[in-house]
Chains A and B, each alone.
Chain A
Amino acid sequence: MGLKCSTLRTLISRYCVGEENWVDSRTIYIGHKEPPPGTEAFIQQRFPDNRITSSKYTFWNFIPKNMFEQFRRVANFYFLIIFLVQLIIDTPTSPVTSGLPLFFVITVTAIKQGYEDWLRHKADNSINQSPVHVVHNGKVIRKQSRKLRVGDVVFVKEDETFPCDLIMLSSSRQDGTCFVTTASLDGESSHKTYYAVQDTKSYSTEQEVDSIHATIECEQPQPDLYKFVGRINVYMNNEPVARPLGSENLLLRGATLKNTEFIYAVVIYTGMETKMALNYQSKSQKRSAVEKSMNSYLVVYLFILIGKALVNTLLKYVWQADPNRDEPWYNQRTEVERERHIIIRAFTDFLAFMVLFNYIIPVSMYVTVEMQKFLGSYFLMWDDEMFDPDLGERAVVNTSDLNEELGQVEYVFTDKTGTLTENNMEFIECCIGGSVYVPHAICNGQVMSGAGMDMIDTSPGPDSRDAEELFFRALCLCHTVQVKEEETVDGIKHGCHQGKSSSFYISSSPDEVALVEGMKKLGFTYLRLKDSHMEILNREDEIERFELLEVLTFDSVRRRMSVIVRASSGELFLFCKGADSSIFPRVVSGKKEEVQARVERNAVEGLRTLCVAYRRLSSQQYSEVVALLREARLALQDRDKRLAEAYDKIETELILLGATAVEDRLQEKAADTIESLHKAGMKVWVLTGDKMETAAATCYASKLFRRSTQILELTTKRTEEQSLHDVLFDLSRTVLRHQGTMTRETFSGLSSDFGDFADFGLIIDGATLSAVLRPPQEDSNSGNYKEIFLEICRNCSAVLCCRMAPLQKAQIVKLIKTSKEHPITLAIGDGANDVSMILEAHVGIGIMGKEGRQAVRNSDYAIPKFKHLKKLLLVHGHYYYIRISELVQYFFYKNVVFIFPQFLYQFFCGFSQQPLYDTAFLTLYNISFTSLPILAYSLIEQHINMDILKKDPTLYRYIGKNSLLRWPTFIYWTALGVYEAVVMFFGAYFLFDNTTFTSNGQMFGNWTFGTLVFTVLVFTVTFKLALDTHYWTWISHFVIWGSLLFYIVFSLLWGGIIWPFLNYQRMYYVFMQMLSSGPAWLSIILLIAACLVPDVAKTVLWRALWPTTTEKIQRADRLYQGHLSDFTPLSSLRPGLNSDLDSPRVLEAQRSRSGHNVKKVMFTRWRYRGFTDYCSFTPLLPQFSPGTKYGGTGREERV
């Protein structure tokens, strides 16, 4: 009964509530075998089959669903309404005029989406029908992939891809492990080890596997790739044995089996419930600032449209108050029309006016904008300068919606490791109980043969020798590095070539590889993990074996990892390595002070430091540990939390051994890029999980902080001394005081070359940040901490956030994003820990780094190296912004010019909705006569040469804050449109007034009048664009002259033939008749000139009187005949800077610009020479000297 009830509930919940809301675990019978009677009764659930459907539509629902999707867009819906109005009521233009473009747009989009969906169907089918091997009644049979069911036991061979999410039962390897690459899932090409269930790993033939009698209980599918909790009940002799299952047992769909002959595994998640499918959920759409202003313009134009229609309707009825005007004898109404109620008549008239003027909002603008974005993004992908030959990667565009946003960035949030730095770790030194050891492989450019080492402390006592060896062993054992015995690993070369066995170390963490390799240079070589035993080759070339008992894996919250090993002597050790902050509090003995001093010194030098500690375990302690871990691992709920607690209990009472230092070198041109970004007016924030000192050193090296930068600290260390409240207020006072002393001029942003003076840098750490962001308490006045913090940040050109958890990174981005100026943010990172901020920021950039592809997959744009950000923003972003802003403004302008004469004509035709232009002209104006020139312009225009943009990053500032799409500009364009429309209409009006245009005395009619206006219109708007074009390639010539030619040819053809399918022939010979008359030619030329002259004159005068920077650069470029980029001080062209050219700060800037390469060389060289005397290099790099931390010249702000 109860069972039935619950089944019912399952069903109800399945169909009503949405599936697994209350069933939070599932039970799987391996091989579909019922559990032995007497055991707990499980609810048999229904699972989907293994069909993957990435397609959106089926053959049957394509048309309705696609139509629905398309008409959900406001613009399309608007045009649909206009079209329907035209169909229903008697309107001036035929439904074709709006129906045809709409139909065209909808069809093209539908075809594109249909094709994409067809491709997806094809891909789905090929996946769904691919053969898989299933164990059935003790035999391996072939099955189509889509027919797999939960509970099936599958057989996977080497290099095959897993068809669904599996729990591994056994493998061809004795130890029950297998190797897997998840390259297609998260891009990590390293081989990961997965483990079979301990109790089933010995079942390695199909008959044996078929005899397994077990059930699996596990959580319902969730998208996190790295989380899984479950439990397997194996019934041996009807006695269930429960074992924990974790993500190490779970083989994910999409991953590939490597280096393992075969495995047997049981299906647990199928089809759309696999983790891979769950991860395919589309990201939320990001909208660019340009699109937002486009929408607000649209609203304005909608109001103009409604206004026009209302005014005309109103005037119509005022004018018609006289019955002889309302219904003159020559134009009588029908009875039906007379009887219609006046309100209905007025409403119909209103709608008819709406239809007549609806072209002011062009359907083609949306198409053009989308085409521009889509096609424009190819230039990003094609850019050879953004191609990295080492990686063989080029820029990737995941969304083209944000191209122009790249030109609007105000805040850059960057990750440190792998983004600013190479993430190519090199072991530098280790410090064991106060003595420093340096591997001596490279010295003065020569490779020293053999594994030698140097000790700085000349007299290591016998005690320290033990400690030393223990330290080395600890590092050799405490890691998750694998040994790969092949030349290359999936294209990516890893680590250093091993002399004898030609093997590589592979790990998801480059630090670990560096450490293990460093140990090798110091004499201890990690050989391999075999049968749960780690083998080490020690200095005496003896192999030591340690049994690996437990691995307490690394996580970013604990920031440490541990292993528990049993030495061959039987002793049990726990080795722990991790960040100093997470190790030191747990240390009970060891030379803490010496090590800490060394760690701090290394950190200041920009090295990544790790501390190593150990603890001896008695066998009793060990069994407690095992019990603790076991309990935690078996938990089905909150397993992670319980594990963390268990780890916390285990990793205590450590004895400090020493510390290591690993260098992560700065990426090529990272400093140059940061400097450019600064000059371009962007605020660069570094968000890192590293410790403060390391991060600060990197910031100095990468020019984020300069010598002159005044550093403000907001760290735990300071808040311990003072309350957070006081610190915040002190800092804000400092910042505001400075701001007060600055003149308005220098702060206007246009003239200040900031980054050189008035320069603050802020350092904040994760803990303090969360204190700042904590929601305000009721009692205290802490509520406005956030505001104060933002105020401080606003005045800092560079901010360093260290010790950040991944989610905190996103929090920071969100904080800035939602602050009151709503700045445009960009986040750039390479690792999985950056994904949250990449998704959060307006623009997310992924770096194709070493930490897998997750950042790239979730980003909007991906580039191979950090240095490519410079071109991406300064050149591409700048271009796309000016291109699209012109596109948007021009589109509104050309439609005002188009429709306004038609509006004016109503005053002369009794407000009767008589169209001025012929239907064909109305339809084709936006589609073909004026569409291509602006599209081509928006793809190829370059107002300033690429090299100059790159050379002078300050140019980026002038387009900031959406400056080309501000209201004044928009109003100017609209006013220009209205002016031109008035000139065209009244020009033609006075020319037509009571006179003949021909020499044979014949008169022209209303269609000739409209055609004359239309011809002037097409030429004027095209010439206007031609005048705005600064970069005339053959494409520009082709489309501009081609469009005009097309207009003429079309008009000749359109008027040259009696078109049999038309029920009116009003345009017949109108165009030819017009061209055959001299005055018409003269009028056209006159009106075009009258339209364009004022705009040209204005442009030229403004250029002379108040030139924009762009115009200055253009002029200078012309003077130097395109060699402007060869001349250095572009800053002289900037307003207000001429007199500053010789000022010390500019000189300093130039010096530092040219000097940074030299400095970098020094930075890399001194280490090898200077290790004997650390003090000797301090004068070279004053900012790194311990005495004057960061400030260098003593300007550090300590309030």
Chain B
Amino acid sequence: MNKKEKPEAENRPDNTAFTQQRLPAWQPMLSAGIVIPLFLIIGLIFIGIGVALFVTSRDLQVLEMDYTGMEQNSPCFSCSDPDQKNCKCTLDFNLDKLFEGPVFFYYALTNYFQNQRSYGVSKDDYQLSGDLDNFKDPDSTCSPYRYDSNNNPIVPCGSLANSMFNDTFKLYQLVAGTKKEVPLDGKGIAWWTDYNIKYRNPSVTPLKNAFNGTVKPLFWPRPAYELDPTDPANNGFINQDFLVWMRRAALPNFRKLYRRITEGDYSTGLPEGNYSLEISYNYPVLNFDGRKKVVFTNVSWMGGKNEFLGIAYLVIGSLCIVMSVVMLIVYAKFKFPEED
């Protein structure tokens, strides 16, 4: 008898819930009974968020001015000639009410493909993190901005660094016929991590010595260690403007933060009045049909002015409600009799 039972016991499968595919399970079903109230709730929440976003966004102010100088009547028309060097032009504008602060000052470029692959990879991350070996021999991805014609290494190398935006702006408020400079704050316009961790200058003092035997990017007026003569901590690879430029934009029309207006009389915003923006016009965009703009804007808890987000929430929210109504009609018409 024992003999007979043995093989059975050996070969018998484990009788557990898992092996028998009988694990306890929650078996939800996408039925109208659950989905209609769910859609209703989601719809209401979304509409609520949408309204909040829309209202917030509507209250934000944006002032966008094109200074490319394509048009003859544009103040920068004369500067748009590519042969002009060190051209300056002035853009006058008027604010008829207080531009609430903090005000953010952006420059914007259009039709500019910072997201091209060959452009984006044309840099040397080791060099930019202060590796002196890569000062002498930049990475091959930097070509054709790797060595100059005399075979000196370019630091920082690559198209991305080379094409850094070099228009500069000065903003004046016209108070009783005199120009009062609006202080622009250039600190913290780049990511904290870029400034403090990702990009590093070589630990050579003075910084200039590290750049011995190298040349500045061809397009740059000044070498990297002299980017900001006013602040020694804002030079080399950790120059804020440089960092802003190096973070590639996702799309061909983009804005980059230039300055913040937070100091002095302007900490609450730009009061109403006349302003004058002095532009040193250096950056060529016309040959690729680009535009240059300056943008003044303020932000809220949900970022800059963007009506799309609010509208999208409203649309999806209402869609949910509409669908739940449709479902309810269908449900009432086709389902109830059957379930009796």
Nearest CB to that of B199 among chain A residues?
A1065
Given contacts A1032-B26, A1101-B330, contact A1006 B250 (CB under 8 A): yes
Given contacts A328-B113, A999-B303, contact A1096 B316 (CB under 8 A): no
Are A387's CB and B119's CB within 8 A?
no
Are B49's CB and A1082's CB within 8 A?
yes
A 993-1031 binary contact with B (CB < 8 Å = 1; else 0):
111111111111110111000000000000000010011
CB contacts (< 8 Å) of A908 on chain B: these are 115, 251-252
Are A325's CB and B288's CB within 8 A?
yes
Are A393's CB and B11's CB within 8 A?
yes
CB contacts (< 8 Å) of B248 on chain A: these are 1005-1006
Does A509 sit at the interface, judged by CB under 8 A?
no
B 252-276 binary contact with A (CB < 8 Å = 1; else 0):
1111110010000000000000000
Are A383's CB and B13's CB within 8 A?
yes
Does B22 sit at the interface, judged by CB under 8 A?
yes
For chain B, residues 10 to 33, give those with C-beta under 8 angstroms from any C-beta of chain A: 10-15, 19-32
CB contacts (< 8 Å) of B247 on chain A: these are 1003-1005
Are B118's CB and A912's CB within 8 A?
yes
Are A1001's CB and B193's CB within 8 A?
no
> Shortest CB–CB separation between residue B302 and chain A, in angstroms?
5
Are A382's CB and B19's CB within 8 A?
yes
Does B77 sit at the interface, judged by CB under 8 A?
no
User: B302: which of A1006, A1035, A1082 is its contact (CB, 8 Å)?
Assistant: A1082
Does B198 sit at the interface, judged by CB under 8 A?
yes
Are B3's CB and A1104's CB within 8 A?
no
Nearest CB to that of A908 among chain B residues?
B251
For chain B, residues 22 to 50, give those with C-beta under 8 angstroms from any C-beta of chain A: 22-32, 35, 39, 42, 46, 49
> Shortest CB–CB separation between residue B180 and chain A, in angstroms?
23
> Shortest CB–CB separation between residue A77 and chain B, in angstroms?
28
Query: A113–B45 Cα gap in the complex (Å)?
Result: 55
Does A970 sit at the interface, judged by CB under 8 A?
no
User: A914: which of B117, B125, B144 is its contact (CB, 8 Å)?
Assistant: B117
Of the listed stretches A120-128, A245-253, A331-339, A608-616, chain B binds A331-339
CB contacts (< 8 Å) of A1114 on chain B: these are 27, 29
B 156-182 binary contact with A (CB < 8 Å = 1; else 0):
000100110000000000000000000
B 297-339 binary contact with A (CB < 8 Å = 1; else 0):
0011111111011001100100110010011001100110001
User: B13: which of A382, A942, A997 is its contact (CB, 8 Å)?
Assistant: A382
Of the listed stretches A36-44, A535-543, A568-576, A1083-1091, chain B binds A1083-1091
CB contacts (< 8 Å) of B289 on chain A: these are 324
CB contacts (< 8 Å) of B339 on chain A: these are 1119
CB contacts (< 8 Å) of A996 on chain B: these are 104, 255, 257, 299, 303-304
CB contacts (< 8 Å) of B305 on chain A: these are 995
Query: A1122–B102 Cα gap in the complex (Å)?
Result: 62
Query: A328–B316 Cα gap in the complex (Å)?
Result: 40
Does A1199 sit at the interface, judged by CB under 8 A?
no
> Shortest CB–CB separation between residue A380 and chain B, in angstroms?
10
A 359-397 binary contact with B (CB < 8 Å = 1; else 0):
000000000000000000011011111010100111000
Are A912's CB and B116's CB within 8 A?
yes
> Shortest CB–CB separation between residue A912 and chain B, in angstroms?
4
Does B221 sit at the interface, judged by CB under 8 A?
no
Interface size of B as a range: 35 or more
Query: A394–B22 Cα gap in the complex (Å)?
Result: 18
Query: A167–B22 Cα gap in the complex (Å)?
Result: 55
CB contacts (< 8 Å) of A328 on chain B: these are 113, 287-288
Are B159's CB and A331's CB within 8 A?
yes
Of the listed stretches A517-525, A550-558, A984-992, A1142-1150, chain B binds A984-992
Are B42's CB and A1089's CB within 8 A?
yes
Are B303's CB and A997's CB within 8 A?
yes
Query: A384–B14 Cα gap in the complex (Å)?
Result: 7
Does B284 sit at the interface, judged by CB under 8 A?
yes
Of the listed stretches A579-587, A672-680, A1071-1079, chain B binds A1071-1079
Does A639 sit at the interface, judged by CB under 8 A?
no
Of the listed stretches B89-97, B184-192, B206-214, B224-232, chain A binds B184-192
User: A987: which of B46, B125, B312 is its contact (CB, 8 Å)?
Assistant: B312
Are A332's CB and B117's CB within 8 A?
no
Are A334's CB and B257's CB within 8 A?
no
CB contacts (< 8 Å) of A1009 on chain B: these are 250-251
> Shortest CB–CB separation between residue B4 and chain A, in angstroms?
8
> Shortest CB–CB separation between residue B148 and chain A, in angstroms?
13
Are B29's CB and A914's CB within 8 A?
no
Query: A49–B32 Cα gap in the complex (Å)?
Result: 74
Are B19's CB and A1096's CB within 8 A?
no
Does B143 sit at the interface, judged by CB under 8 A?
yes
Are A384's CB and B12's CB within 8 A?
yes
Given contacts A912-B113, A992-B250, contact A1003 B256 (CB under 8 A): yes
Does A913 sit at the interface, judged by CB under 8 A?
yes
Are B255's CB and A1003's CB within 8 A?
yes
Given contacts A331-B119, A392-B8, A1100-B31, contact A384 B159 (CB under 8 A): no
Does A491 sit at the interface, judged by CB under 8 A?
yes
Are A394's CB and B159's CB within 8 A?
no
CB contacts (< 8 Å) of B244 on chain A: these are 1003
CB contacts (< 8 Å) of B316 on chain A: these are 1086, 1089-1090, 1093
> Shortest CB–CB separation between residue B40 and chain A, in angstroms?
13
Does B249 sit at the interface, judged by CB under 8 A?
yes
CB contacts (< 8 Å) of A15 on chain B: these are none
Does A1054 sit at the interface, judged by CB under 8 A?
no
Query: A394–B244 Cα gap in the complex (Å)?
Result: 68
For chain A, residues 1029 to 1088, give those with C-beta under 8 angstroms from any C-beta of chain B: 1030-1036, 1058, 1063-1065, 1068-1069, 1073, 1077-1079, 1082-1083, 1086
Are B28's CB and A1030's CB within 8 A?
yes
Query: A1027–B38 Cα gap in the complex (Å)?
Result: 14
User: A1033: which of B25, B255, B334 is its contact (CB, 8 Å)?
Assistant: B25
Interface hub of B12, B46, B191 (most chain A Cβ within 10 A): B191
Nearest CB to that of A92 among chain B residues?
B117
CB contacts (< 8 Å) of B7 on chain A: these are 392, 491
Query: A419–B157 Cα gap in the complex (Å)?
Result: 80
Are B15's CB and A384's CB within 8 A?
yes
Are B284's CB and A990's CB within 8 A?
no
Nearest CB to that of A90 among chain B residues?
B118
CB contacts (< 8 Å) of B312 on chain A: these are 987, 990, 1086, 1090
Are B300's CB and A994's CB within 8 A?
no
Given contacts A914-B117, A992-B251, A1003-B247, contact A1104 B190 (CB under 8 A): no
CB contacts (< 8 Å) of A991 on chain B: these are 306, 308-309
CB contacts (< 8 Å) of B252 on chain A: these are 908-910
> Shortest CB–CB separation between residue A192 and chain B, in angstroms?
23
> Shortest CB–CB separation between residue A1198 and chain B, in angstroms?
47
CB contacts (< 8 Å) of A332 on chain B: these are 144-145, 159
Are B120's CB and A1103's CB within 8 A?
no
CB contacts (< 8 Å) of B118 on chain A: these are 331, 333, 912
12 more contacts with CB within 8 A, not counting A993-B306, A1069-B191, are A329-B288, A389-B12, A909-B113, A995-B305, A1005-B247, A1006-B114, A1006-B249, A1032-B25, A1078-B302, A1090-B312, A1101-B326, A1119-B339
- Can you report 29 residue pairs joining A to B where beta carbons are below 8 Å apart? A328-B113, A330-B119, A330-B162, A332-B144, A332-B145, A387-B12, A392-B12, A908-B115, A912-B117, A992-B251, A993-B251, A993-B253, A994-B253, A995-B304, A996-B255, A996-B304, A998-B303, A1002-B191, A1006-B248, A1032-B26, A1032-B28, A1065-B198, A1077-B303, A1082-B49, A1086-B309, A1093-B320, A1101-B330, A1105-B334, A1114-B29
**Interfacial residues, chain A to chain B (CB-CB below 8 A):** 92, 324-325, 328-335, 378-379, 381-385, 387, 389, 392-394, 488, 491, 879, 908-910, 912-915, 940, 942, 946, 987, 989-1006, 1008-1010, 1027, 1030-1036, 1058, 1063-1065, 1068-1069, 1073, 1077-1079, 1082-1083, 1086, 1089-1090, 1093, 1096-1097, 1099-1101, 1103-1105, 1114-1115, 1117-1119
4 closest residue pairs by CB, A with B: A330-B163, A1009-B250, A382-B19, A996-B304
